[in-house]
Amino acid sequence: MVDRPADADPFALFQAWMAEAETTEPNDPNAMTVATATSDGIPAARILLLKELDPPGAQPRGFVFYTNRQSRKSDELAANPRAALLFHWKVLRRQIRIEGAVIDATEAESDAYFATRPRISRLGAWASDQSRPLAERAVLERRLAEQEARFPGEAIPRPPYWGGYRLIPGRFEFWQDMPYRLHDRTVFTRAGSAGAGDGWTMGKLFP
């Protein structure tokens, strides 16, 4: 088997670009736009933080984020379990688009990550009915105080409606700004099913 060059592995290229972004971006280099759609195609997008990229050899290998599973994005993923991610690093003049199917992270993964969150964030997960109407800010603050009384220490369990998602890529696009808007666009598409390993075909797009 002929070894592929490093840039023929989209995960390796993603990690290389992320490492550069971590040295240049002033805030949250792992911030990404997550775009979802309803079953009849109505789109929505919002900024979340990438919390994990599965290591080489993981099956399936994907990009993991966490949220309230009663939120709007979760309702959309339940009806249409596909999403698109967009990383934009303004300083580097780069962006990466990733598209694929979305599955639930495991309960153990969700428990482990939830335990690393700051205490107030964990309490907030109990206090907030994410994406639901809020009459006034004071209601959220009162509910947070109620949860602080309910869980006075550090032992705060994960709410059953809160957890992670894993996007399994089927397509990557790496975009690099170039002079005179003659940008470089490199596309990777998965060769075979998501469970068949990390086989990819690579090509270029006109800017």
pLDDT digits (tens, 9 = 90+) for 5-18: 455 899 999 999 99
Q: pLDDT tens, 159-185? A: 999 999 999 999 999 999 999 999 999
Question: In CATH, which superfamily holds the domain spanning 6-115+159-205?
Answer: Electron Transport, Fmn-binding Protein; Chain A (2.30.110.10)
**Mean pLDDT (whole number) for 138-160:** 97
Q: What is the pLDDT of residue 194?
A: 54
* Burial call 64-102: b when 16+ CB within 10 Å, e when fewer: bbbbbbebbbbebbeebebbbbbbbbeebebbbbbbbeb
User: What spatial distance separates the first Cα and last Cα of the chain, rounded to whole Å?
Assistant: 33
> Tokens in use for 34?
């997550």
Q: Calculate helix-pair angle for 137-150, 119-127, nearest 10 degrees.
A: 120
CA distances (Å), origin 191, targets 170, 179, 182, 194, 199: 9, 32, 28, 9, 5
- In whole angstroms, what is the distance from residue 106 CA to residue 103 CA? 9
Mean pLDDT computed over every residue of the chain: 94
Q: How far is CA 94 from CA 133, 172, 174, in A?
A: 36, 13, 8
Q: Give me the mean pLDDT over the 135-151 stretch.
A: 97
Whether the predicted model's global pTM rises above the 0.85 cut? yes
What are the backbone dihedrals phi and psi of residue 120, each rounded to the nearest 5 degrees, phi first?
A: -65, -35
